């Protein structure tokens, strides 16, 4: 421990009046919320891409970090320390991600005379290498999975998981099932690790296909008190990144519930039979061993991989607050950021953490398309609203929904950072109630402008296996990603939404034209041809709506008996015929240029208005591969003129800190390759063209 570190915290003399958060977006806003509740000033840092971010507007002061990429901005510890000194901050909170587990950054903060709201430098160093940390945990008596040297992995040890030694969040992770794939996957993992953490070191360990990801929140002060605050389960993951997190763990509840029907406490003590410790007791004991072994202080998370029998193995210790910390806050009543700050000031923790209560579930709402290999999305967030009754960044004390978000209507999701839009967290007395509350809130949320994983999240929360607590890391593979990623709205529901869009558009056109007298646009006192409007859906194709306004109503072709009770530019109420009489359904309609968003209890629908006349210049050749997002071309996998097969990688893009493979859509010939390595491309750019073999043969003969 450095001299400045000791003086600033253990003596209790640390004074904090203003906190700089060395992070961005939702993370910065979350820490700022607690600072405001504590009466502390706030300082933001921001890249050029984040100049209009809400976290910048909310801070008392903000300092620009020139550039856009993390390497230029949020990974520049020297610039962040200088910003804190320039703004008059006396403490730095690292948030989670970026430099939050960087020992050199923590040391530079302390050397500058600032308070570091984080663990000791030595603890970060010890846990910073996942390779060395496992050896240390093994020596401390914590159960571990054996590390494998990538150069010595054998076929008998497959499958293996490649992991980045210096970071987390799924960056640098790869599952390898074939020995021949190992060299290429190692190289890709090293590139991602270098890009995300500045350290290309990776290692391997045995991969458990159906493990349960269980983690324990710990908190320790400078006076020897160590809390195991509670466990979380984060087993539902995509690309080794958590998607659904909850507290307490359904696995722990099931195993301990089989032998203990009494109450549980955050110390892990049970009221049932004694004898062999419960799974919760064993988890908490292992987490405290890990924490004490490195002289830890502050908030941290000890992560384990467990099996269905309740045995578990140490994965890593995250020397920071976790993205999923709100579920622990809601089930304990603690504000963990406040506790972090008080520990950094030298305050003592009470002897025991508060007892656990109720159940909390968190989902991560991403701008991504699960049905298209989780492709991240970029662009404008036209509108985002989770409805009345939700609260921001609050520790819930009664049933409700909390939203932690870094975006607001008008925010732009770029390619430089993670595409998470919000964390949505429910709290209730029971797990079933928490799941249903969260699913309903998500389904009713109005989210316009980007494709998201919202439909997938709702289907997961309502899935029988999830409700039964069967949530291992193979959840998506077991239950079918195609089924889980399907739209919430049915085809008939989407068709009704398209009718509502057409009628609302007609009302908007009428209002814009200033047509009076109560007659709708297109009205005739004699029979006439119907008006037509066409809309394109991402999932079901084109909807052509043919409708006629009459003296008293509207008639829609293909929807016999359908009537309209109310039509305005922003909402349409339809009376839909049913077996027991008409059903009244209301649709909210929003327009953003040619993009139409229709929200109703049937499910959200995104449509695009099809123009009556198409510009030939807007057409693209069959077989064209379009850039799914802005990014940088980092590798090429084939040359023009080469024969390719469906699924063969043709090039790789780097965007949002991840590599994305662009593969051949079908067997054929790569007739065009329009990019080179290092080239920046915009979304929709034609990267390459794959032509059918027969087409190219015909052209050659001619």
SS3 for 623-673 is CEEECCCCEEEEEECCCCCCEECCCCEEEEEEECCEEEEEECCCCEEEEEE
Is 8's pLDDT higher than 50?
no
Show Cβ contacts of residue 468 under 8 Å, excluding neighbours closer than 6 positions.
none
| Highest mean pLDDT pick, 140-144, 207-211, 613-617 | 140-144
SS3 596: strand
**Two structure tokens written together for 542:** 């084109």
Q: Are strands 554-556 and 563-567 parallel, antiparallel or unpaired?
A: unpaired
CA distances to 146, 170, 290 from 302, rounded to whole Å, are 17, 16, 8
Placement of tokens 């509207």 in the chain = 554
Under 8 Å between Cβ of 690 and 666: yes
User: What is the pLDDT averaged over residues 619-643?
Assistant: 86
Q: What is the DSSP string of 209-276?
A: TT-EEEEEEEEE-TTS-EEEEEEEEEEEEETTEEEEEEES-HHHHHHHHTT--S-B-TT--BSS--SS
The half-sphere exposure of 102 on its side-chain side, counting CA atoms within 13 A, is: 22
The pLDDT of residue 616? 58
Q: Which of 286-290, 454-458, 518-522, 600-604 has the lowest mean pLDDT?
A: 518-522
pTM of the model: 0.85
CA distance 191 to 217: 31
DSSP 8-state code for residue 65: -
Paired with 475 in beta bridges are: none
CA distance 400 to 424: 11
**Two structure tokens written together for 417:** 């950072």
Under 8 Å between Cβ of 229 and 247: no
Nearest to 629 by CA among 379, 436, 462: 379
- Residues of the chain with pLDDT > 70, as a percent, come to 90
User: What is the pLDDT averaged over residues 212-240?
Assistant: 96
**Two structure tokens written together for 614:** 């198409």
CA 481 to chain centre: 17
**Two structure tokens written together for 48:** 């050029």
Q: Which of 296-300, 341-345, 445-449, 681-685 has the lowest mean pLDDT?
A: 681-685
SS3 for 102-128 is CHHHHHHHHHCCCEECCCCHHHHHHHH
Q: Are strands 61-64 and 41-46 parallel, antiparallel or unpaired?
A: parallel
Q: How many Cβ atoms sit within 10 Å of the Cβ of residue 648?
A: 16
Show Cβ contacts of residue 97 under 8 Å, excluding neighbours closer than 6 positions.
23, 27, 169, 418
CA distance 537 to 592: 15
SS3 95: coil
3-state DSSP helix/strand/coil % of the chain, to nearest 5: 30, 30, 40
CA distance 344 to 321: 14
The pLDDT of residue 290? 97
Nearest to 249 by CA among 282, 279, 218, 210: 279
CA distance 578 to 581: 5
Using one digit for the tens of pLDDT, what is the confidence trace for 21-57?
999 999 999 999 999 999 999 999 999 999 999 999 9
SS3 583: strand
Under 8 Å between Cβ of 359 and 429: yes
Average pLDDT, the chain: 90
Locate all alpha helices (DSSP H) within 146-214, ordered by sequence. Answer: 182-197
Using one digit for the tens of pLDDT, what is the confidence trace for 502-556?
999 999 998 988 755 445 555 555 555 789 999 999 888 999 999 988 777 888 9
Show Cβ contacts of residue 2 under 8 Å, excluding neighbours closer than 6 positions.
107, 110, 111, 121
CA dihedral (335, 337, 343, 349) in degrees, to 10, reads: 20
End-to-end CA distance of the chain: 78
CA distance 688 to 480: 30
CA distance 626 to 685: 5
Q: Are strands 531-537 and 605-609 parallel, antiparallel or unpaired?
A: antiparallel
Show Cβ contacts of residue 242 under 8 Å, excluding neighbours closer than 6 positions.
213, 234, 236, 323, 324, 364
Nearest to 214 by CA among 239, 242, 175: 242
Using one digit for the tens of pLDDT, what is the confidence trace for 632-674?
899 999 999 999 999 899 999 887 767 888 999 899 999 999 9
Is 241's pLDDT higher than 50?
yes
CA distance 662 to 643: 16
Using one digit for the tens of pLDDT, what is the confidence trace for 542-597?
999 999 887 778 889 999 999 999 999 999 999 999 988 999 999 999 999 999 99
What angle (nearest 5°) sits at the alpha carbon of residue 539, between those of residues 480 and 488?
60
Using one digit for the tens of pLDDT, what is the confidence trace for 163-187?
887 766 667 788 999 999 999 999 9
User: What is the pLDDT averaged over residues 402-412?
Assistant: 97
Domains of the chain, first to last: 3-117 (3.40.50.20), 150-484 (3.30.470.20), 491-609 (3.30.700), 616-701 (2.40.50.100)
Show Cβ contacts of residue 514 under 8 Å, excluding neighbours closer than 6 positions.
none
Using one digit for the tens of pLDDT, what is the confidence trace for 415-424?
889 899 999 9
């Amino acid at each position: 421990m450095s001299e400045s570190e000791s003086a600033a915290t253990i003596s209790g003399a640390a004074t904090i009046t203003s906190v700089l958060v060395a992070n961005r977006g939702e993370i910065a806003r979350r820490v700022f919320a607690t600072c405001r509740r504590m009466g502390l000033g706030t300082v933001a840092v921001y890249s050029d891409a984040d100049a209009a971010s809400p976290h910048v507007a909310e801070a008392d002061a903000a300092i620009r970090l020139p550039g856009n990429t993390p390497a230029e901005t949020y990974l520049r510890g020297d610039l962040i320390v200088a910003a804190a000194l320039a703004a008059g901050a006396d403490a730095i909170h690292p948030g989670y991600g970026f430099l939050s587990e960087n020992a050199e950054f923590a040391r530079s903060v302390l050397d500058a005379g600032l308070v570091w709201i984080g663990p000791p430098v030595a603890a970060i160093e010890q846990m910073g290498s996942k390779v060395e940390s496992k050896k240390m945990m093994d020596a401390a008596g914590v159960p571990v999975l054996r590390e494998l040297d990538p150069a010595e992995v054998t076929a008998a040890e497959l499958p293996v998981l490649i992991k980045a030694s210096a970071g987390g969040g799924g960056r640098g992770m790869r599952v390898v099932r074939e020995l021949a794939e190992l060299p290429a996957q190692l190289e890709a993992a090293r590139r991602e690790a270098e890009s995300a953490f500045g350290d290309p070191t990776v290692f391997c360990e045995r991969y458990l296909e159906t493990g349960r990801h269980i983690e324990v929140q710990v908190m320790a002060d400078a006076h020897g008190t160590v809390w195991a605050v509670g466990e979380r389960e984060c087993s539902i993951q995509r690309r080794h990144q958590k998607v659904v997190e909850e507290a307490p763990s359904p696995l722990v509840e099931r195993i301990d519930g089989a032998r203990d029907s009494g109450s549980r406490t955050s110390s892990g003590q049970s009221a049932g039979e004694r004898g062999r410790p419960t799974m919760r007791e064993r988890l908490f004991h292992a987490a405290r061993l890990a924490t004490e072994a490195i002289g830890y202080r502050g908030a941290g998370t000890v992560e384990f991989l467990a099996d269905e029998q309740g045995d578990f193995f140490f994965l890593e210790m995250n020397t920071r607050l976790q993205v999923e910390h709100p579920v622990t806050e809601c089930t304990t009543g603690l504000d963990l950021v406040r506790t972090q700050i008080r520990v950094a000031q030298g305050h003592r923790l009470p002897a025991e953490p508060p007892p656990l209560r109720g159940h909390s579930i968190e989902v991560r709402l991403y701008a991504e398309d699960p049905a298209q290999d989780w492709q991240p999305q970029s662009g404008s967030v036209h509108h985002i609203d989770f409805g009345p009754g939700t609260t921001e960044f609050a520790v819930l004390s009664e049933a409700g929904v909390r939203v932690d978000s870094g975006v607001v209507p008008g925010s732009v999701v770029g390619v430089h950072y993670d595409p998470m839009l919000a964390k949505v967290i429910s709290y209730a007395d029971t797990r079933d109630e928490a799941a249903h509350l969260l699913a309903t809130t998500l389904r009713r949320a109005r989210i316009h402008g980007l494709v998201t994983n919202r439909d997938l999240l709702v289907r997961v929360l309502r899935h029988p296996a999830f409700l039964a607590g069967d949530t291992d890391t193979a959840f998506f593979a077991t239950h079918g990603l195609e089924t889980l990623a399907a739209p919430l709205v049915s085809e008939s529901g989407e068709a009704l939404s398209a009718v509502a869009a057409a009628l609302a558009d007609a009302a908007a056109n009428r209002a814009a034209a200033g047509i009076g007298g109560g007659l709708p646009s297109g009205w005739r006192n004699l029979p006439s041809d119907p008006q037509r409007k066409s809309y394109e859906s991402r999932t079901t194709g084109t909807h052509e709506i043919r409708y006629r306004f009459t003296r008293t109503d509207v008639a829609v072709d293909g929807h016999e008996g359908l009537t309209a009770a109310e039509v305005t530019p922003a909402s349409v109420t339809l009376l839909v015929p049913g077996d027991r009489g008409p059903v009244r359904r209301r649709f909210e309609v929003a327009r953003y240029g040619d993009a139409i968003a229709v929200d109703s209890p049937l499910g959200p629908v995104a449509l695009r208005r099809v123009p009556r006349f198409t510009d030939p210049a807007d057409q693209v050749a069959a077989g064209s591969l379009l850039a799914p997002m802005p990014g940088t071309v980092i590798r090429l996998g084939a040359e023009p003129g080469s024969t390719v097969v469906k699924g063969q990688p043709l090039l790789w893009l780097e965007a949002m800190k991840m590599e994305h493979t662009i593969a051949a859509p079908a067997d054929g010939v790569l007739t065009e390759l329009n990019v080179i390595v290092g080239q920046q491309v915009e979304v929709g750019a034609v990267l390459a063209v794959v032509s059918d073999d027969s087409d190219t043969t015909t052209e050659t003969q001619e």
